Amino acid sequence: MSPSNKEMQLCKNCQLYAYVLRAQGKEVPEEIQDCIDSYDYVLNCVKELYAEIESLDSESFEKIVNNQELLQSRELAYWWEMQQEADRLHKMLSSDT
């Protein structure tokens, strides 16, 4: 059976999270690697990925997220922009109530 769009996105998030960790010389947790290796073990690591990007200093952010020479970096930059926009919209809608 083919993976669902949600399963594919969760796996992609794990791939991006692993990229950020490896770029910093950190170890990738086994459950994240399992998610990358198989759609049978998908998990949601958005909070962890978000927190890891937020914790980067400006130099590391530029090297890891804004490196236009690496496809994973460009994908991560796009992911980060979408997260930032979602946060902005959420705050805007929350203040309207």
Could you tell me the sign of the dihedral formed by the alpha carbons of 13, 17, 18, 22, in that order?
positive
Q: Which domain holds residue 28?
A: 5-95
Label residue 25 left, alpha or beta by phi (over 0 means left) and psi (-120 to 50 means alpha). Answer: left
Element containing residue 38 per DSSP (H, E): none
- pLDDT tens track, the chain, 97 positions: 788 999 999 999 999 999 999 999 999 999 999 999 998 888 999 999 999 999 999 999 999 999 999 999 999 999 999 999 999 998 888 886 5
**Confidence at residue 40, expressed as pLDDT on a 0 to 100 scale:** 85
Give the predicted TM-score (pTM) of the model: 0.90
Number of domains in the chain: 1
Identify the DSSP state of 39: G
- Residue 95: its pLDDT value, please? 82
